Amino acid sequence: MKKSFIILSLFALLLFPVLAQSVAEKAQTKEITVYAYDSFTSDWGPGQALVEAFEAKTGTKVNLIGYPGAVEMLSQVEFEGKNCKADVVIGISDTMACDESMFTVWQPDCYENLEGYNPESGLIPFDYGIFAFVFNSRANMIAPKSLEDLTGEGFKNMVILIDPRTSSVGLGCLMWTIEAMGEEKAMQWWQAMAENALTVSSSWSNAYGLFTEGEAPLVLSYTTSPVYHAMWDGHNDFVALEFSEGHYMTTEYMGILETSTKKDLAKEFCNFILTEGQSKIATDNTMFPANRTTVLPEAFEWALMPEKILNENVKTDTSQIDRYIDLWTKAVVK
Partner 1 sequence: MDKGCRKVKQLFPRLFSTGGIVLYSLIFTLPLLITLLQTNLGSLREAVSNSYYLHILRFSFTQALLSALLSLAVGIPGALIMSYRSFRFKRQLKALFYLPFILPPILVVLGFVIFYGNSGYLNKILFSLFGVKIKILYSFTAVLLAHTFYNFPIVITLVSNSINKLGHSCEEAALVDGASAWKSFTSIILPRILPSALSAAIIVFLYCFTSFAIILVLGGGPQLTTLEVEIYRQARISSNIPMASALSILSTVTVVIVLLINSAVENRSSEYETDYSGVRVSRLSFVERIYLTLVTLFVSLPLLSIFIKSFSASAWKSAARVIGSAVNSLGIALVSAVVSTLLALSLSYLISLSSGRRKGLIMTYCTLPMVTSSVILGLSYYVVSRSFGFLPGFFLLALSHGALSAPFGVRTITSVWKDIPPELAESARTSGAAESTVFFKIHLPLLKPAVLSCLMFSFAISMGELNATMILSPSSFTTIPLQIYRMVAAYNYEGACALGSVLCLICFSVFFVFSRDGEDLS
Site for partner 1, rule CB under 8 A: 1, 3-4, 7-8, 11-12, 14-15, 18-19, 22, 33, 35, 38-39, 42-43, 63, 65-69, 71-73, 75-76, 78-83, 85, 157, 163, 165-166, 194, 198-203, 205-206, 209-210, 212-215, 329-330, 332-334
Q: Whole-number minimum distance, CB 217 to partner 1, in Å?
A: 12
Q: What is the Cα–Cα distance from 314 to 291, expressed in whole angstroms?
A: 20
Contact 218, 155 (CB under 8 A): yes
Q: What is the Cα–Cα distance from 159 to 173, expressed in whole angstroms?
A: 13
Residue number with CB closer to partner 1 (19 or 141): 19
Q: Whole-number minimum distance, CB 83 to partner 1, in Å?
A: 5
Q: Whole-number minimum distance, CB 125 to partner 1, in Å?
A: 24
Residue number with CB closer to partner 1 (154 or 297): 154
Q: Whole-number minimum distance, CB 204 to partner 1, in Å?
A: 10
Residue number with CB closer to partner 1 (4 or 140): 4
C-beta neighbour count of 210 within 10 angstroms: 16
The type of residue at 30 is K
Residue number with CB closer to partner 1 (308 or 330): 330
Phi and psi at 228, nearest 5°, equal: -60, -45
Residue number with CB closer to partner 1 (39 or 311): 39
Q: What is the Cα–Cα distance from 117 to 220, expressed in whole angstroms?
A: 27
Query: Where are the extended beta strands (E) located within 278-334?
Result: 288-289
Beta bridge partners of 92: 253
Residue number with CB closer to partner 1 (147 or 325): 325
Phi and psi at 129, nearest 5°, equal: -150, 170
Q: What is the Cα–Cα distance from 198 to 194, expressed in whole angstroms?
A: 8
Q: Whole-number minimum distance, CB 213 to partner 1, in Å?
A: 5
Q: What per-residue string of b and e applies to 28-53 under the rule 16 or more CB within 10 Å gives b?
A: eeebbbbbbbbbbbeebbbbbebbee
Q: Whole-number minimum distance, CB 170 to partner 1, in Å?
A: 10
Q: Whole-number minimum distance, CB 21 to partner 1, in Å?
A: 9
Q: What per-residue string of b and e applies to 79-93 under the rule 16 or more CB within 10 Å gives b?
A: eeeeebebbbbbbbb
Residue number with CB closer to partner 1 (14 or 305): 14
C-beta neighbour count of 24 within 10 angstroms: 9
